[in-house]
Structure 1
Amino acid sequence: MEEIEGVNCFSEGRSSSETRPPNPNSSIASAFRQCQRNDPLVLPCRKSLVRHASLQTKMKLSDVSAEDVTEGFQSDFLPKLRSGGCADIGFRSNMEDVYVCVDNFRQGHGLNKHIDGPSAFYGVFDGHGGKHAADFACNHLPKFILEDKDFPVDIERIVASAFLQTDYAFAEACSLNAALASGTTALATLVIGRLLVVANAGDCRAVLCRRGKAIDMSRDHKPGCMKEQRRIEASGGSVYDGYLNGQLNVARAIGDWHMEGMKGKDGGPLSAEPELMTTKLTAEDEFLIIGCDGIWDVFRSQNAVDFARRRLQEHNDPAVCSKDLVDEALKRKSGDNLAVVVVCFQQQPPPNLVAPRSRVHRSFSAEGLKELQSFLDSLAK
């Protein structure tokens, strides 16, 4: 496999590059690069996923067709992508989080014949039990997406398949080198034309800002959430004190093949299958925030959007805005590694939103008119 141009995984703070996974597939051996990352954070279970009325949530992976993609390029609105990311070790002793920003996903891969609009890939990966799974997923997930012969058509099926391929490939790498044993949550975002696709496995989160309103584009996969708990128990697992099998505080992740009772050839309670949400971007969509749970431990979705929006109005720089979010999370005493990516869909900064002043209607009630008439009549006598 060719190395993907422009795909680099980033982290800041302390990093380590001592061990690279042996490749489970010789076709991707030359493509692996060592990543750096930040550590995971824990967020309380969200009881429900807030969906904006205009969002299209497609649960069938085959729902995104060639017509959907083509329509994205024929629309009057096409996003003009700008992005930036930031990561920090925070108060942890090791960095296990990583992010990736690729504004031009098709560059150098002959995809111009398929699409005329933007194509981009963004991801955050929150490692646990070591850094290797996050590094591996950061490097291999976008490759598996690009390798699919149907890309960019049927994009949800392709992305879901890439998550599982990455998981199995990492299992094989671990079988060759047990020192790689670890796990990672993963959130991947693609922009194809004006189609926004978010795939999530774990407790990272993506939040869309639509004219100042925060719209959750992912659901936090905590073991205690009712939907996840039912899936876990149906797969032979259990939830103890909020932890999957009493060991993990996430219900979905890539890796963790070394943990007994989590995964197997026939499945298991820990799933690498992502949940997907898609929407067609409009001129009202301003930016997207994707971050590991260290960010969301100290920010609510709307709070993060309000904060980022103010910063973008000041400097209109998504990279600086990402650093602003990380710095603010540190001020708010987030206890985890921190990684965040901000993707802007417009060239201009977010506009000021001035609420229209409501017109004041003054009127008399029937009873008031009666009393006024009585008063006037008494004056006339």
Structure 2
Amino acid sequence: MQGWRISMEDAHTAVLDLDSAKSHSSKLSFFGVFDGHGGDKVALFTGQNIHNIIFKQDTFKSGDYAQGLKDGFLATDRAILNDPKYEEEVSGCTACVSLIAGNKLYVANAGDSRGVLGIKGRAKPLSQDHKPQLENEKNRITAAGGFVDFGRVNGNLALSRAIGDFEFKKSAELSPENQIVTAYPDVEQHDLTDEDEFLVIACDGIWDCQSSQAVVEFVRRGIAAKQELDKICENMMDNCLASNSETGGVGCDNMTMVIIGFLNGKTKEEWYEEIARRVANGDGPCAPPEYAEFRGPGVHHNFEDSDSGYEMDPENKGRSFGVDDTEMFDNADEDKDLASQVTKNPSSAEKDTAPVTAPGAAAADNASADTKPADVTVTKPTDKDAAEEVKKEASAQEIKKEE
């Protein structure tokens, strides 16, 4: 969804069979969300190429998928830097991707997009928002000669890791991992079980409006109501969309959201039935039934969501999440500019969603031969007519130009 912005700078990718040549022992599926800033070129390049670049890494070929993801992020950054077409490029993007390899789930993240696993209605964070004020991030920034001011890198960038943003990567004596802003990702691994229902990957346009737990409960309610995943994404974005552009940025950003359902050997219909049965039996938290209904743009569902009870792995606890993600995902320093927003009727803030069916994305080694495809839903970022209409109105307003 473009939302109230005058342009769409998000990108996404969904590759259902990353290894068509069957060179790996497990089926590989890949999904990602890339939230651009300062333009869309880096985000589009990343969405179109990062999965292929990762797949070509020697570490990935050897089966070390976690290291392959890390190497692939840095290689993607280098590919853009070394491409003459991007010599003057100043934009950047977040990157939050998931790799499903058999019953293993990997989530790699650089920036403040987020991957959240739904386990019987409880949200388990599989990424951390890379904000400049985090101790480890701030230490790296200052050691590289930068500073953090008002929660921004050098008073400018509101996230501390990104692909692109080469103005913050000019220290020739430092490794890519130690630049003021780095593309080096954190990678989390999770062993999938029957209790793992779905994964949500989304940009901060969603997470600025809802907590991880609230999103998981919202998605679960939609599944229990037998809604297609693209409809759930649409309802979530409408729920987050501000009724006007005067909210200081929250609910006005581009929004991209991907839901990956884990069939775990079931058919699609059986997967829906199983989650509906769990919800009916009170097996795990879920949003109230009315949350499965369309309420209209700007009608925010702010129910009292449950504690997820999940934390990051012990080695990451000192720098990331507690049980409650409210403090970790503080968005007080988010972009408050109205430069790329316009005051229009909410119905004009166009969205375009399309379902994508992911054959074999059910990440289970024992998937039955007649297993139906897992559902993957992505938001599509383009509506040229709407964008032109928004641009025309934006040009008539005296709004400070976005940085």
- 2:136 corresponds to 1:227: yes
Q: Which residues of 2 match residues 1-381 of structure 1 at below 5 A?
A: 88-107=1-20, 110-111=21-22, 113-115=23-25, 117-149=26-58, 150-151=60-61, 153-173=63-83, 175-257=84-166, 259=167, 261-265=168-172, 266-267=174-175, 268-330=179-241, 334-346=251-263, 347=268, 348-349=271-272, 350-351=275-276, 352-353=278-279, 354-355=281-282
Q: Equivalent residue of 1:180, what SS?
A: coil
CA-to-partner distance for each residue in 1:145-186, whole Å, 9 max, x for gaps? 22134436100111100000000111112x544453311111
Gaps of 5+ in 1: 1-87, 357-381
SS in 2 for 1:282: coil
CA contact (8 A) 2:115 2:126 kept: yes
Task: Give me the whole-angstrom Cα distance separating, in 1, the residues matched to 2:28 and 2:86.
Answer: 35
Q: Per-residue deviation at 1:256?
A: 1.1
| Letter aligned with residue 185 of structure 1 | T
**SS of residue paired to 1:287:** strand
Contact 2:33 2:201 in 1 (8 A): yes
- Report the Cα distance in structure 1 between the residues aligned to 2:76 and 2:99, rounded to whole angstroms: 17
Question: Which ranges in structure 2 are unaligned for 5 or more consecutive residues?
Answer: 244-249, 284-403
TM-score (norm 2): 0.62
User: Does the CA contact (< 8 Å) of 2:131 and 2:158 recur in 1?
Assistant: yes
Query: In structure 1, what is the Cα distance between the partners aligned to 2:194 and 2:282?
Result: 19
1:83 corresponds to which residue?
none
Structure 1 equivalent of residue 341 of structure 2: none
Q: Give 1:232 shift.
A: 1.4
Asked if structure 1 preserves the Cα contact closer than 8 Å seen for 2:81 and 2:87, the reply is no
How far off is 1:121 after superposition? 0.3
- Note the C-alpha offset of 1:264: 3.5
For 1:305, what is the secondary structure of its paired residue?
helix
Instruction: Extract structure 1 runs of 4+ deviating beyond 6 A.
Output: none
| Structure of greater relative contact order (alpha carbons < 8 Å, 6+ residues apart) | 1
Q: RMSD of the alignment, in Å?
A: 1.8
Secondary structure, aligned partner of 1:89: coil
SS of 2:66 mapped into structure 1: helix
Q: Which stretch shows the higher mean deviation, 153-162 or 310-319?
A: 310-319
Amino acid in structure 2 at the alignment position of 1:342? I
Larger radius of gyration: 1
2:111 and 2:161 in contact (8 A); partners too: yes
Hey, what's the Cα distance between the residues in 1 that align with 2:9 and 2:141?
Answer: 26
The letter for the 1-side match of 2:99 is L
Counterpart amino acid of residue 168 in structure 1: R
Judge conservation of contact 1:263–1:271 (CA < 8 Å) in 2.
no
Partner SS, residue 82 of structure 2: helix
Match for 2:38: what amino acid?
A: G
Q: What is the CA-CA distance between 1:281 and the residue it aligns to?
A: 0.3
SS in 2 for 1:206: strand
Instruction: Write the distance in 1 (CA, Å) between the matches of 2:170 and 2:199.
Output: 32
Measure the CA separation in 2 of the matches of 1:152 and 1:290: 27
Q: Which moved more, 1:341-350 or 1:142-151?
A: 142-151
Provide closer, same or farther for how the CA distance between residues 237 and 179 of structure 1 changes in structure 2, counting only shifts above 3 A: closer
Shift of 1:114: 2.4
Q: TM-score, normalised by structure 1?
A: 0.65
Could you tell me how far apart the structure 1 residues matched to 2:19 and 2:169 are? 36
Distance 1:340 1:317 in 2: 14
Please name the residue that 1:8 is paired with.
Answer: none
Amino acid of the residue matched to residue 142 of structure 2? E
